Structure 1
Amino acid sequence: MPTLTLLQAEGLVVRTLTRCRTDVDNARSVARALVAAEVDGLQGHGLSRVPSYAAQAKVRKVDGLAMPLVTRPRPGLIAVDAGYGFAFPAIEAAETVLREAAPAQGIAAAAIKRSSHCGAARLPVERLAQAGLVAIMFANTPAAMAPWGGSKALFGTNPIAFACPLPGRAPVVVDLSLSKVARGNVVTAKQRGEKLPPGWALDHKGQATTDPDAALHGTMLPMGDAKGVALALMVELMAAGMIGANYAREASSYLDAGGPPSGTGQLIIAFDPEAFGTHAIARFNVLAVAIESQQGARLPGERRLALRAKAKAEGLVIPEKLFAEIEAL
């Protein structure tokens, strides 16, 4: 299987997307996000997405030439219109303004509408935490989960991500899909010809399935049963209803080039943790150290640091079939 350095992997994505009606700066933004997800072991949000992204850009389901439009409706609010383009340039534009607005005011929020698949939600909040901010992100996605007690998909898997800085070291990062697993894991299993573990998904008849194709035509099971569905409802209201994005049931699939643009949304809220005068970052570290002092315990997100060091030293191993598919686009 081919092994690529991180720069080579980013170059592969950029070359592919620019051949498929995508502006080079947008392609670079997408490449940064996909390679970062791949490095972190999140293959469902990594290079496996390149074929579907390219197909969507070719038919303009995702407008690879769209440039995000940033406005400030209120001093603490940033509105970003992704123009039905890739989510990543719009998210990066939102981050730029949040880094200025949150310290100035103590808190700021960025709403991104007419957007698309945002990949690993941990990455934007982690970058904001590296800049000294506490950040939380909500993202709604196309319908994949039924309401509790229902049978028809109405909510997305709707990730929630959170990060906060620690003094002199990597931030705490939490990234949760509200289904038992992210739907991207099902896509990866299908690409690899693998079965799903029991308990991930139901088929279109509401029966348990380990067949990834049946799962993609059915529904995902929620994390925490009714509690996960309640959180998915919250995300729909905040990342779609409040900001003018499509609800999950109105959004077309992220997985193929059929239909209109997805038009989903993301909401990022950033806080200056020192705004309350409580020495918050030092206090965060007190709890982090207490967790780490227990044998066998670790902070959420720590695994990513080891994976990043390994990828930087050894490169990324790309499945032969996927590499050939990307090169052929």
Structure 2
Amino acid sequence: MAETELISLPAAQDLATAALIANKTAPGIAGRVASALVASEAAGQPGHGLSRVPSYAAQARSGKVDGFAKPSLEQVTGSLVRIDGAFGFAYPALDLALDALPEMARTNGIAMAAIRRSHHFGQGGLHCERLADQGLVALVFGNAPKSIAPWGGKEPLFGTNPIAFAAPVPGEPSLVIDLAVSRVAKGKIMAAEKAGRAIPEGWALDRDGNPTTDASAAMVGTMLPIGDAKGAALAMMVEVMAAALVGSSFGFEASGLFSGEGDPPNLGQTIIAIDPGLSSGGAYGERIAALMTAMAGSEGARLPGSRRIDARLNAERNGMEIPGLILDEVRALAREGARCSS
């Protein structure tokens, strides 16, 4: 079997959707989840891509995530909504937030969505980018099950806890900055494990606290934070922003995202949208243009998030190279569902 296979975006969408429908997920929700996973894969983020389908399917089968859940929105104030994810997949809840925030932000200058009883929210930059493409500056905070120890500690307490940011740039693609507070997102290690590949040293420790290049050992060990103590402090900050602030579980209370065992993880996300024209008195467009010009004039500098644009264009034109082991697993899930329904 070839190490990787080429698959088009529509074929990947259909395959992931079929696999999820076959595993206790409503068709509309399955399509929305598949769309988010394929978009992440196309943007060069395989840790949030098709490698997630087997774990999502296992959780839907066991009821750890409700594949039929419908999120609900509560308007708390003119600039704040609370969204109940109902222990379903995060993407429908995120859609509610992203649909509501633009008008609120333009009316009030700033708006926030607090999402609780949620799940894995994928590539945070994609959600921010949707707001930036509508002219808003956006921030997303999301917590995750424990995998990082407090600085100086040995036992994991915080999640990899992504922080994402996006800002509109007149006449250019939006600026997108997306990072986990671990040196890499844990999904990258999971993707390496599924593909049978080693990971670089410096990403993670095994369960005994030793550096490891074994992806399986890293999955049951701890992640190393970016910037050492500073990264661990950021992880704690996100726990406040995405869990305490919205009323969801902390990372040390949440069940894992890579198996069907356990209770729903009850993760949280906070999304903040800002109208930069209102906050800057109309100066934002000129100011962001000056920043981008300075970046362009800095020899050797690379704009954060810029690789996603070329990756998307290549995926749209030529398809995506996916590890064959991952595609085989997703195809098996879809075939099993087809046999059960026949």
* TM-score bracket for the superposition, by shorter chain length: over 0.9
Contact 2:85 2:117 in 1 (8 A): yes
Per-residue deviation, residues 203-229 of structure 1 (Å, max 9, x unmatched) = 111111111111111110000000001
**Secondary structure of 1:274's match?**
helix
Pick from 278, 282, 285 the counterpart of residue 278 of structure 1: 282
Contact 2:79 2:105 in 1 (8 A): yes
* Corresponding residue of 2:322: 318
Contact 2:195 2:326 in 1 (8 A): no
Matched, 1:78 2:69: no
**Secondary structure of 1:147's match?**
coil
Matched, 1:231 2:247: no
Per-residue deviation, residues 48-67 of structure 1 (Å, max 9, x unmatched) = 00011011111110101001
Matched, 1:186 2:189: yes
* Corresponding residue of 2:292: 288
Residue 281 of structure 1 and its aligned partner are, at CA, apart by: 2.5
Q: Which amino acid aligns with 1:72?
A: Q
**Secondary structure of 1:195's match?**
coil
Matched, 1:34 2:45: no
Percent identity for Structure 1 against Structure 2: 48
Per-residue deviation, residues 147-169 of structure 1 (Å, max 9, x unmatched) = 01001100000000000000011
Contact 1:166 1:282 in 2 (8 A): no
Contact 2:150 2:232 in 1 (8 A): yes
Q: Which amino acid aligns with 1:33?
A: A
Pick from 240, 251, 272 the counterpart of residue 248 of structure 1: 251
Per-residue deviation, residues 264-320 of structure 1 (Å, max 9, x unmatched) = 101000000101313212311110111011222121111111111111110122322
* Corresponding residue of 2:91: 88
Pick from 262, 266, 271 the counterpart of residue 265 of structure 2: 262
Contact 1:66 1:83 in 2 (8 A): yes
**TM-score using structure 2 length:** 0.94
Q: Distance in 1 between matches of 2:143 and 2:157?
A: 11
**Secondary structure of 2:317's match?**
helix
* Corresponding residue of 1:172: 175
Number of aligned pairs? Answer: 329
Q: Distance in 2 between matches of 1:192 and 1:319?
A: 6
CA RMSD of the aligned region, Å? 1.0
Q: Distance in 2 between matches of 1:16 and 1:194?
A: 24
Matched, 1:130 2:133: yes
* Corresponding residue of 2:160: 157
Q: Distance in 1 between matches of 2:209 and 2:34?
A: 37
Q: Distance in 2 between matches of 1:163 and 1:321?
A: 34
Residue 4 of structure 1 and its aligned partner are, at CA, apart by: 2.4
* Corresponding residue of 1:143: 146
Contact 1:113 1:243 in 2 (8 A): yes
Q: Distance in 1 between matches of 2:148 and 2:33?
A: 27
Contact 2:142 2:242 in 1 (8 A): yes
**Secondary structure of 2:101's match?**
helix
Q: Which amino acid aligns with 1:27?
A: A
Q: Distance in 1 between matches of 2:192 and 2:6?
A: 21
Q: Distance in 1 between matches of 2:143 and 2:240?
A: 9
Residue 118 of structure 1 and its aligned partner are, at CA, apart by: 0.7
Q: Which amino acid aligns with 2:227?
A: G
Q: Which amino acid aligns with 2:159?
A: G
Matched, 1:100 2:92: no
Contact 2:64 2:264 in 1 (8 A): yes
Pick from 310, 314, 324 the counterpart of residue 306 of structure 1: 310
Q: Distance in 2 between matches of 1:297 and 1:72?
A: 43
Per-residue deviation, residues 26-56 of structure 1 (Å, max 9, x unmatched) = 1121111100110011111000000110111
**Secondary structure of 2:33's match?**
helix
**Secondary structure of 1:250's match?**
coil
Pick from 105, 113, 117 the counterpart of residue 114 of structure 1: 117
**Secondary structure of 2:286's match?**
helix
Contact 1:81 1:114 in 2 (8 A): yes
